[in-house]
Amino acid sequence: MKKSFLIFLIFILFAAVSFSGCLGLLSDSGETNETDVNISEIYDLNVFIPTVSGHEKVVESGTYFTVSNSSDVQVVLLVDNKKEIQILKETGLFGLSSTRIKDVYFITNENFSMTTDGINETVSSPVILPLEYAQKESSRDVKLILEENFSGILVYTMTPMIGSNSFSVNDGTQAVQIILSEDYETGNRLFGKPSPNPDSIQTDSNGQKILTWNAPIGNVSVKYYKNSAPFYFTLASIVLLALIGLIWFRYQYQIRKLRQITHLSDPNSEEGFRNKK
């Protein structure tokens, strides 16, 4: 009976995983209907142009912003003539569920091109296209399926199922820029650090930490934490050690007190305790 019940549970779990991967093709769809929105109020159109072999090279890159006091990640993705666009997929246990995205906008310009000038002109004069899309998800990746090829800048916000202070850039971008908001930090072995090591780490005038990978091999991941986390951890450790010290001194005090009482009641005892032979 127990064996058949276990087999039934395994079958249900397998079916749930398969169901999640297959029906992800039809689960989410949307359209960017708001073409008159002020995109600069929602996103910083910071397009990353990496430096490869000492020269700037325009490639399909991604910039990923952590949001202060939130586990959301804002994404600015440079897209070159794609009908299927891969986006971030949540990792871990909740990676089996459908990836949740919001505030999706397709931005371009009549003079857009995969050049520095073309990108700068698009950023300064963005035009939002009302494109329909479907979200296709499998166990390996998540893609937005468009009705026609798109070239320009895709922006969206990925919202994890549960709060998290880490994410992995697993959308196949050729260059990666991660910008931590001014109240976050990374690089501590205990609290978390980026992997692999970034090509550069800078801090801008707003206190944001900027990490860049010009040509990463494999996925880039980063675990970040509040700036105050190491201080509070050190403070908590000191308090804990102080409590342990107080408990130890109290224990020693109680032992000495017990020995004195025992010695008064039995003067023939050694160090306050009866010598048993």
Q: What is the pLDDT of residues 35-62, one digit of tens each?
A: 778 898 999 999 999 998 889 999 999 9
Domain annotation covers residue 269: yes
Q: What CATH number is given to the structural domain containing 150? A: 2.60.40
Domain around 237: 228-277
Residue 48 and residue 98 in one domain: yes
Residue 64 and residue 106 in one domain: yes
Per-residue confidence (pLDDT) for residue 17, from 0 to 100: 37
Domain annotation covers residue 69: yes
Residue 73 and residue 139 in one domain: yes
What is the phi-psi region of residue 256: left when phi exceeds 0, alpha when psi lies from -120 to 50, beta otherwise?
alpha
Per-residue confidence (pLDDT) for residue 153, from 0 to 100: 97
Residue 148 and residue 108 in one domain: yes
Q: What is the pLDDT of residues 72-86, one digit of tens each?
A: 999 999 999 999 999
pTM, whole model, 2 decimals?
A: 0.75
- Answer yes or no: is pLDDT of 270 > 60: no
Domain annotation covers residue 2: no
Q: What is the pLDDT of residues 136-175, one digit of tens each?
A: 988 889 999 999 999 999 999 999 887 778 899 999 999 9
- 98 or 67: which leads in pLDDT: 67
What's the structural domain count of the chain?
2
Residue 170 and residue 235 in one domain: no
Residue 179 and residue 245 in one domain: no
Query: What is the Cα–Cα distance from 99 to 161, expressed in whole angstroms?
Result: 8
Q: Which of 185, 209, 226 is the last residue before a domain boundary? A: 226
Per-residue confidence (pLDDT) for residue 162, from 0 to 100: 76
Per-residue confidence (pLDDT) for residue 31, from 0 to 100: 60
